[in-house]
Amino acid sequence: MDKMDMQRAAPVYIEEELESTNSKLKTMAAESGTVLIARRQLGGRGRLGRSFESPEGGIYLSYLLRPDCPAQECSGLSALTALAVHDAVFDVSGVSADIKWPNDLLLNGKKLCGILTELSFDRQGRPEVVIGIGLNLNTAPEQFPEEIKETACSLYGETGRIFDAELIIRRLVERLDHACRLWTGDHAYFLERYRSLSICRGRDVLVVHGSERRCARALEINGDMSLQVMYEDGTQESLCSGEVSLRI
By CB under 6 A, name the binding residues for ligand BT5.
20-22, 41, 44-48, 50, 52-53, 60-62, 111, 114-116, 132-134, 136, 148, 152
Let me know: does 33 contact 64? Beta carbons within 8 Å: yes
Question: Measured at CB, which residue is nearest to ligand BT5?
Answer: 114
Q: What share of the chain is helix, strand, coil (3-state, %, to 5)?
A: 30, 35, 40
Report the C-alpha gap between 8 and 173 in whole angstroms.
Answer: 10
Q: How far is the CB of 233 from ligand BT5 (least distance, A)?
A: 28
Report the C-alpha gap between 224 and 115 in whole angstroms.
Answer: 18
Q: How far is the CB of 2 from ligand BT5 (least distance, A)?
A: 17
For ligand BT5, the closer CB: 225 or 230: 225
For ligand BT5, the closer CB: 57 or 67: 57
Give, for 111, the enclosing helix (H) or strand (E): strand 110-121
Q: Is the dihedral of CA 227, 77, 151, 86 positive or negative?
A: positive
What b-and-e string marks burial along 153-175, b requiring 16 or more CB atoms within 10 Å of the CB?
A: bbbbbbeeeebebeebbbbbbbb
Let me know: does 95 contact 89? Beta carbons within 8 Å: yes
Let me know: does 156 contact 144? Beta carbons within 8 Å: no
For ligand BT5, the closer CB: 64 or 188: 64
Q: How far is the CB of 244 from ligand BT5 (least distance, A)?
A: 11
Q: How far is the CB of 129 from ligand BT5 (least distance, A)?
A: 13
For ligand BT5, the closer CB: 61 or 173: 61
For ligand BT5, the closer CB: 184 or 205: 205
Q: How far is the CB of 37 from ligand BT5 (least distance, A)?
A: 8
